Amino acid sequence: MTLPQIPQPVVSPLTPAAIFLVMTVDAGHEGDAREALAEVSSLVRAVGMRSLEDGLTCVTGIGAEFWDRAFTGPRPAGLHPFRELRGATHTAPATPGDLLFHIRAQRMDLCFELAQRIGFRLRGIARIVDEVHGFRYWDARDLLGFVDGTENPQGALAEHFALTAADSEHPASSTVIVQKYSHDMDGWHGLSVEEQEAVFGRTKLSDMEIPDEEKAPNSHLALNVIEDEDGNERKILRDNMPFGSVAEGLFGTYFIGYAADVTTTETMLENMFIGDPPGNHDRVLDFSTALTGSLFFVPSQTALDDPDSLDAPDAATAPDAMDPDATDPEEQAGDPDPHSSLGIGALRGRPQLRGDTTASVS
């Protein structure tokens, strides 16, 4: 029986608290990481049951390099390593990331507890390379003082732009790009309110869009409006959060953008960093520096709970992986070392994973 593809909680209400974890999986532990992915939903339930009204959720993403090492199925459409963007003035760097955990709730203690349990589960398997604790600032504003997410699609439109269709290769999935930005607060506060509004293309207090005929061509809003060939606007679903440290003098925004078609997000970033036309970069980058950049595939919740479903169908049912009486894999492959083609994955009834070096099971 084919199970319905239920999406992960990508389209969820904005929350006052969030934690973003980006991890890299240690070589040889790809199979262990796959098993851990299947347990994330149970960890969410265990922590979230303590306070159901606070809406604890977690969205899990898979990076391209980890996909190549851990799954036998072809990469999903749009999944590739984040592409560095080097403009004449500003750069969007590409940084490592095999797994993303986007944790949200009404309370930070729930987010922290879940992040801690995920970290414990993946201890010795993966390393946290970036951890950001986000918070709601005033009335959904970033630390630069402007409302963030005004143009987010809502309801059915949010699902349309953020989640793939039922007839796609991976139904009810998404692709997400994350970037961590630090802000030059001294330089920003050196601008007048009118100058700040020109940078964003929106009024600061009332959050109203500046008319097109008055909007600066290098304003953030002007460069982030993407249209298709018919003039219809293409959108993404953002859940950006402020973060910071007074002691470190670090004040920033964690950008996270979900899209059914990742080229929408990539076009926005190209306009920002390269410019449209080239050289006309987003003015907000003169006060915001990108520190990280990673891209992840977000499978459906159904697929995440059963990672074997992401393997190639023929590999998942290969006779040498499923039938102990089948022809010896060493003879089939012509490999003098049986452990190089038959590892713990095959002994457990799944295909051998690239990078899975365990050769025996207790």
Query: Which pLDDT score is estimated for 355?
Result: 42
Say how far apart CA 31 and CA 25 lie, in whole Å. Answer: 10
Read off the amino acid at residue 285. L
Note the pLDDT of residue 348: 33
Over residues 172-176, mean pLDDT: 98
- Cα separation values, 309 from 43, 73, 224, 316, Å: 21, 9, 36, 8
Each residue's pLDDT tens digit, 184-228: 999 999 999 999 999 999 999 999 999 999 999 999 999 999 999
pLDDT at 292: 98
Ramachandran angles phi, psi of 177, nearest 5°: -115, 135
- The pLDDT score that the predictor gives to residue 358 is 36
d(CA 114, CA 112): 5
pLDDT at 343 over 60: no
> Among 6-15, 161-170, 302-311, 348-357, whose mean pLDDT is lowest?
348-357
Given this model, what pLDDT does residue 214 score? 96
Q: How large is the average pLDDT for residues 140-157?
A: 96
pTM of the shown model: 0.86
pLDDT digits (tens, 9 = 90+) for 272-285: 999 999 999 999 99
Q: What's the number of CA atoms in the CB half-sphere (13 Å) around residue 23?
A: 29
Answer whether residue 338 shows pLDDT above 60.
no
Burial of 21 (C-beta count, 10 Å sphere; 0-12/13-18/19+): buried
- What's the chain's average pLDDT? 89
Alpha-carbon separation of residue 127 from 41, 68, 100, 227, 290 (angstroms): 20, 18, 12, 39, 22
pLDDT of residue 81 exceeding 80, the answer is yes
CA 145 to chain centroid, in Å, comes to 25
What's the pLDDT at 313?
A: 84
At 146 the pLDDT is: 97
Neighbouring C-beta atoms of residue 264, cutoff 10 Å: 18
Percentage above 70 pLDDT, the chain: 86
Q: Is 325 a catalytic residue?
A: no
What are 14-60's pLDDT values in tens digits?
999 999 999 999 999 999 999 999 999 999 999 999 999 999 999 99
CA distances from 1 to 232, 248, 314 (A): 39, 54, 17
> How large is the average pLDDT for residues 316-327?
41
Domain ranges, ordered by start, for the chain: 17-307, 317-347
Catalytic residue chosen out of the listed positions 32, 98, 130, 148: 148
Are 103 and 114 in contact by the 8 Å Cβ rule? The answer is yes
Specify the pLDDT at position 344. Answer: 30
Q: What is the pLDDT of residue 314?
A: 72
What pLDDT is stored for residue 249 in this prediction? Answer: 96
Reported confidence tier of residue 1, pLDDT bands at 50, 70, 90 = low
